[in-house]
Amino acid sequence: MFPHSRREYLPFLRQHWRSLLLALLGVLVPFALFTHLTYEVFREGGFPWDRGVLDWYAQRRTPALTWVAEALATLGGVAVLPFVTLLVAWLLAGRGGRAHGWFLVSGVAGATLLNVTAKLVFQRPRPDELLAVLNEPGFSFPSGHAMSNAAFGFALTLVFWRSRAGWPVAVFGLLWALAVGASRNYLGVHYPSDVLAGFTASVAWVAGLYTVMARRWPQLRGSPAGPRDTR
């Protein structure tokens, strides 16, 4: 029985190793990290470095950096990011990448809904207002800006990964997510653990969504511009 199973199992691994690796690195590992962060914050009282990182940012604020951080907060917030996401999805659909557009919208929208739910469940207060540049309402864990923009950057990376623009888009998506996340700590409206939790939750969500949607729409594994642009 085992030799027969092995003859079926090894071809399965060779055929689906990319999907299995994505499930492991993209879903299970980030989810485990998110679980660990949640446990440390709500069962062990959080991390000592949370306050230390906020103090470090507060001591290095300048008018120019504050302007940049506030601009990132606006661009990555609800007033701009949803419209940018819909615009990119519309452009993708116009080039024949309708499935890619739906994946991008679903990734960002799903991450946003998960964030709202998580904040209502955990209800972590925001950092002390004395350290904050902005006075924002709502709860702190996980960071909504970090979560939605990480979902946008990671989903955009998966959309273009098999195209000629794969690496430039991946670098942009990573830097954009990191910049928005860092700006939340700089402004003092989120603890670093809030931002890390947002990153890990988004990666797990988007990777899982990609695995499911790519089974229904295999064209997601290729370039949105079609086979001629697929690496």
What per-residue confidence (pLDDT) applies to 19? 62
* Closest to 192 (Cα-Cα) out of 28, 56, 27, 44: 56
20-58: buried (b, 16+ CB within 10 Å) or exposed (e) per residue?
eebbeebbeebbebbeebbeebeeeebbeebeebbeebb
H or E element in which residue 204 lies? helix 192-216
User: Within a domain: residue 69?
Assistant: yes
Q: Which residues contact 13 (CB under 8 A, 6 or more apart)?
A: 20
Task: Please give the Cα distance from 187 to 127 (Å, whole number).
Answer: 10
CATH number of residue 53's parent domain? 1.20.144.10
In a domain, 20, yes or no: no
Q: Is 180 within the bounds of a domain? A: yes
Q: Are 119 and 141 in contact (CB under 8 A)?
A: yes
- Residue 56: phi and psi, rounded to 5, are -60, -45
Q: How far is it, in rounded angstroms, from Cα 122 to Cα 108?
A: 21
Q: Which residues of the chain have pLDDT under 50?
A: 1-3
Q: Report how many domains make up the chain.
A: 1
pLDDT at site 163: 85
**Is 178 domain-assigned?**
yes
- The pLDDT of residue 214: 86
Specify the 3-state DSSP secondary structure of 132.
coil
Phi, psi (rounded to 5 degrees) for 127: -60, 165
Question: Is residue 122 included in any domain, yes or no?
Answer: yes
As given in the structure block, the two tokens for residue 199 are 């990153």
Is the preceding omega at residue 142 within 30 degrees of 0, hence cis? Answer: yes
pLDDT at 22: 62
At residue 229, the pLDDT reads 67
Decide if 12 is inside a domain: no
Phi and psi dihedrals of 150, rounded to 5? -65, -40
Phi, psi of 21 (to 5 degrees): -65, -40
* 5-56 per-position pLDDT tens digit: 555 555 655 655 566 666 666 666 777 777 877 877 777 667 788 888 888 9
Residue 140: domain span: 34-223
The Cα-based distances of 95 to 92, 99, 205 in angstroms read 5, 11, 26
Is residue 148 one of the residues assigned to a domain? Answer: yes
Residue 17 within a domain = no
Which pTM does this prediction carry? 0.84
Residues 211-226 pLDDT 10s: 888 888 888 888 777 6
pLDDT at 2: 42
